[in-house]
Amino acid sequence: MRKKIIAGNWKMNKTIGEAVELANGIKLDLAACTEVDVVLCPPFTALKSVSDVVSETQIAVGAQNMSSEDEGAYTGEICHTMLKELFVRYVILGHSERREYYKENDFWINKKVLKALEKNLRPILCVGETLAQREANETEKVVEVQIREGLKDVPASAYTELVIAYEPVWAIGTGKTATAEQAQEVHAFIRGVVKDMVGAEAANAVRIQYGGSMKPANAEELLSQPDIDGGLIGGAALDATSFAAIVKAAL
């Protein structure tokens, strides 16, 4: 049985004070939650404060991006050592907003995934098609390339550590959720691609989250699908009550 994992992607929201308040609210409800992995991904500037709030709880902290390099002249970047110093355990990589606005491509995303794994950080690799790609029947083709390229050279043994997030771009922040059937179909497809790449054991072990307007009202149905192992939550993660309700839907 794969343990469900619910991660809150706070994106570019919350000052330190606001982040502490939100993390405290979530902690009140979920500090002792062991049945589901709970991860909070605040902006870089609030990582330390949020780590302090959730230290000594079961709640983990994740970053929203990471450099593929170890250190040096990379203005504006943050490396693994800096994240680990703040007790970060997970890192979201290849989010569609980074692919779209900052032109991140599969080559660099793969370098980041490999670096994160090498340094014992757990990547959450995001993949997903745009509306135009879905309408052109290209969903599987697009997602397969993102998986094959993004996870190139990742050994089968690492699939217990990494997480894949299937996030259809047309569902992110739009209020339009993929139906449970649409999501399940792509999740099963992704698991099949992983099986083809590294074998059945890794494919069975890897956790695949759904992301894209997941909220308390639709979480339970999505999370009850056989290949949906959790959620990457944007908007609904900015409210402690909503986020906690989604985690409870995963129980």
Which residues are annotated as catalytic?
Answer: 95, 167
Regarding 167 and contact with ligand PGA (CB under 6 A), the answer is: yes
Nearer to ligand PGA, 7 or 114 (CB): 7
CA–CA separation, 56 vs 206, rounded Å?
27
Separation between Cα atoms, residue 179 and residue 232, nearest integer Å: 16
| Of 163, 216, 158, 208, residue with least CA distance to 184 | 208
User: CB 239 → ligand PGA: shortest distance, Å?
Assistant: 11
d(CA 81, CA 88): 10
Query: Residue 163 interacts with ligand PGA (CB under 6 A)?
Result: no
Supply the minimum distance, in Å, between the C-beta of residue 229 and ligand PGA: 15
Residue 240's φ and ψ, nearest 5 degrees, are: -60, -40
Q: Is 232 in the site for ligand PGA (CB under 6 A)?
A: yes
**Contact between 230 and ligand PGA per CB under 6 A:** no
User: Using CB under 6 A, which of the segments 50-58, 79-87, 186-194, 212-220 binds ligand PGA?
Assistant: 212-220
Task: Decide: is 211 part of the binding site for ligand PGA (CB under 6 A).
Answer: yes
Q: Find the angle CA(147)-CA(148)-CA(150) to the nearest 5 degrees.
A: 60
- Judged by CB under 6 A, the residue of 5, 6, 9, 36 near ligand PGA is 9
Quickly tell me which residue has 């589901």 as its tokens: 36
Could you give the CA distance from residue 43 to residue 64 in angstroms, rounded to a whole number? 7
The residues of the shown chain that bind ligand PGA, judged by CB under 6 A, are 9, 167, 172-173, 211-214, 232-236
